[in-house]
Amino acid sequence: MIKETELRIGNLVGFYRPEVTEMRIGSVQQIYINEDNIYRVIIPKFSSYIGLPLAGIKPITLTEEWLISFGFIKESNKNIVWDFTDKKTGWFTISERDGFYKFCNIRDLIGKQFKYVHELQNLYFSLTGNDLIYNK
């Protein structure tokens, strides 16, 4: 389960709707507490929006496909390293080990491990002040 403190506007998350058995992907548009003190998340659905309880929001596991869609390039060496470069933010590298990821500089792994798309989005924003853009 995702904690309310982990979510930012624009985070990509998974959710299920009763009429659909597969997980859908949506972008968080609003987070609020309703009259029963239950966190709700607003996600766009076609031309309207749906509100879901926080318990209905699922993290998306970070995969090679997701990294590529964000613009990361896999570097070849004994550790799996993903590089991202852009004119606004410069150089951003993460290292992959045992299904978890960590931000790294030239020599060291830095910070806590992460394994979900929203965690990468939040880390990138915290370090650069820019949103990580998803390219379908």
Q: What pLDDT digit, counting tens, does each position of 38-47 carry? A: 667 777 665 6
Statement: 4-58 belongs to CATH 3.90.320: no
| pLDDT value for 15 | 84
SS in 3 state form for 84-105? EEECCCEEEEEEEECCEEEEEC
Comparison of pLDDT for 122 and 40, the residue scoring more: 122
Arithmetic mean of pLDDT, 113-122: 92
Tell me where in the chain the CATH 2.30.30 domain(s) lie: 4-58
Decide if 57 contacts 41 (C-beta within 8 A).
yes
Whole-structure pTM value: 0.81
Q: Rounded CA gap, 121 and 55, in Å?
A: 20
Percent of the chain with pLDDT over 70: 79
| pLDDT value for 97 | 78
